[in-house]
Structure 1
Amino acid sequence: MKMKKSSIRKLTIAGVLIAVAVVGSLFSIPVLGAKCSPVQHMVNVLGAVLLGPWYALGMGFAAALIRNVLGLGSLLAFPGSMIGALLCGLAYKACPKLPVAYVGEVFGTGILGGLASYPIAAFVMGNTKAALFTFVPSFLVSTAVGAAISVLVLSALKRTHVLSALEGAKH
């Protein structure tokens, strides 16, 4: 019974965060030809910290899929959100300090996600003008802003003792 309650709690938190990411994608910033959505990166950090790396990865995939189906994102949302969310979660799991989570998100999305976007843009989307490092600057801007927003949100949750209650959802 306890495991079922925990699973429902995790899925509920994940669902709410996915909804925030999708609605938050309405507030995108065009940077260097990419649609930057900092709310997704805030959600990546929150999901990684509150639920762990695998939920964060699944949330990144689900949000990217919904955004694409609704016409609110591009195929670049998949590597951008998923790699950052996974790395953020793995980093936080290995060293449960919030700054480690922020760095994991920024490096995972900004560098690795930006690099992984090149083959998708070049071969799947037909963008032959894309260069290997085309997406890194715009992804870095988006993820840095999103990580900064997550600092504010997690600080507020920590100050009000809600963070420790929500982190219990991982167990």
Structure 2
Amino acid sequence: MKATVRLTFMALLVAIGTIGSSFLWFPAGVAKAYPIQHAVNVIAGVLLGPGAAVFIAFTIGVIRNILGIGTLLAFPGGMIGAFLAGYLYKKIRKTWGAGIGEIVGTGLIGSFVSIPIATLLMGKSVGAFAFVPPFLISSVSGVLIACLLLPLLKKTPLGDYYK
């Protein structure tokens, strides 16, 4: 992918992830579900790879926190899920691999990494499995959105980069 196209697509995904998270979210237990973030993670992991996907997730998290529409919990779930989505897609070369990576990375690993962040930095005391259900709901719904969008992206000029 040419550098200009790559950077433009990354910026577009950051914008979609940031704006989409302010419009499409729903309460899910002790946290909020932001499925657009997870859809962006899968799309970025598939089309751009794990490094770019992590950078996009981090940037969305920073912008959402600056704007007051996100929490510190956006970082562990988003970044770990984005990395595993890109990594598993790179290894398996199947979209479902990216979906599994996002669900495991965000829904399981990210939820457990969020516990000390919530306790130490946010002053919230939560149980060991408090974040698992909402993170799983959020990531599964985002993966479903991504699985609907990725075949459509194949039909665009970006589809040339879909391997």
Q: Normalising by structure 1, what TM-score?
A: 0.90
Residues 1:25 and 1:161: Cα distance change in structure 2 (over 3 Å):
closer
Residue 167 of structure 1, CA deviation:
3.0
Cα RMSD, aligned residues only: 1.4
| Gap runs ≥5 in structure 2 | none
Residue 162 of structure 1, CA deviation:
4.5
4+ long deviations beyond 6 Å:
none
The residue type paired with residue 38 of structure 2 is H
- Residue of 94, 99, 103 corresponding to 1:102: 99
The Cα offsets for residues 89-144 of structure 1, whole Å up to 9 and x where unpaired, read as: 0111111111111111111110011111100001111112x112110100000000
Aligned residues: 162
Contact 1:42 1:147 in 2 (8 A): yes
- Residue of 137, 143, 149 corresponding to 1:147: 143
Amino-acid identity (%): 43
| Gap runs ≥5 in structure 1 | none
Residue 28 of structure 1, CA deviation:
1.1
Does residue 164 (structure 1) correspond to residue 139 (structure 2)? The answer is no
Q: Normalising by structure 2, what TM-score?
A: 0.94
Cα distance in 2, alignment partners of residues 32 and 167 from structure 1: 36
Does residue 138 (structure 1) correspond to residue 150 (structure 2)? The answer is no
Cα distance in 2, alignment partners of residues 156 and 7 from structure 1: 23
Contact 1:154 1:163 in 2 (8 A): no
Which has the greater radius of gyration?
Answer: 1
Q: How does 1:10-29 map to 2 (within 5 A)?
A: 10-26=6-22, 27-29=24-26
Cα distance in 1, alignment partners of residues 157 and 149 from structure 2: 11
